[in-house]
């Protein structure tokens, strides 16, 4: 990980996936944020939580792109050790992500924030399938942490509650619903 730019004080963490549904850390503030130059992408295969080794699910990663809206959480300096340890345990157990400091736009200006980019050199990275393929995988996969569909739905619900709307996630969700309906009707 590149070094923390200011080396002390509070830390802002950029959240763009299901972590927004139930953050495992105490935070002082939360704000909408835009990370320029990156987009969320179902580019990480998940054989551990939302899928299995034989049928991995898909989870979100950050990849270069047009920009990504998400949430920035301010973790107070006094809570950093405990808060970031919880995030590390959840997000860094497997080589899926790379923690990187980036500039993001918040309502009160630009800030340096901690992001977790997709580890494009890691064993779980795959170029993102098209929306229809991603939806078919998400509709059909499940693992010890629940269905891949619940991962998508929880992510969208958390962002909508905070006023963040993502047409990409909405499109995948719509296609996932169609894929599930088609699978049910062909099974009958």
Among candidates 66, 74, 1, which has minimal Cα distance to 38? 66
The DSSP-derived string for 147-161 is: EHHHHHHHHHHHHHH
Q: Which of 91, 98, 128, 154 is catalytic?
A: 91
- Residue 35 neighbours by CB under 8 Å, 6+ apart: 14, 16, 62, 67, 68, 70, 102, 104, 113, 115
How far apart, in Å, are the Cα atoms of 22 and each of 73, 78, 105, 119, 146?
A: 12, 21, 23, 23, 15
Active site includes 91?
yes
Residue 5 Cα to chain centre, angstroms: 23
DSSP state of 18: G
Q: For 37, which DSSP code?
A: T
CB 35 within 8 A of CB 16: yes
Catalytic residues: 91
């Amino acid at each position: 990980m590149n070094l923390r730019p200011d080396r002390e004080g509070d830390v802002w963490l950029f959240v763009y996936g299901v972590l927004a549904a139930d953050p495992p850390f105490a935070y002082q503030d939360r704000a909408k944020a835009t990370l320029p130059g990156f987009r969320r992408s179902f580019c990480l295969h998940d054989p551990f939580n939302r899928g299995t080794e034989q049928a991995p699910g898909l989870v979100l990663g950050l990849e270069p792109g047009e920009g990504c809206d998400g949430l920035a959480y301010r973790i107070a300096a006094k809570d950093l050790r405990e808060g970031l340890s919880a995030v590390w345990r959840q997000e860094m157990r497997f080589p899926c992500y790379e923690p990187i400091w980036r500039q993001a736009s918040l309502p009160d200006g630009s800030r340096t924030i901690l992001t977790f980019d997709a580890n494009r050199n890691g064993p779980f990275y795959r170029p993102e399938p098209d929306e229809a393929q991603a939806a078919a995988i998400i509709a059909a996969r499940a693992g010890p942490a629940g269905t891949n569909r619940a991962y998508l739905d929880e992510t969208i619900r958390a962002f909508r509650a905070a006023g963040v709307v993502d047409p990409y996630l909405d499109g995948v969700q719509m296609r996932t619903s169609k894929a599930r309906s088609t699978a049910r009707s062909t099974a009958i």
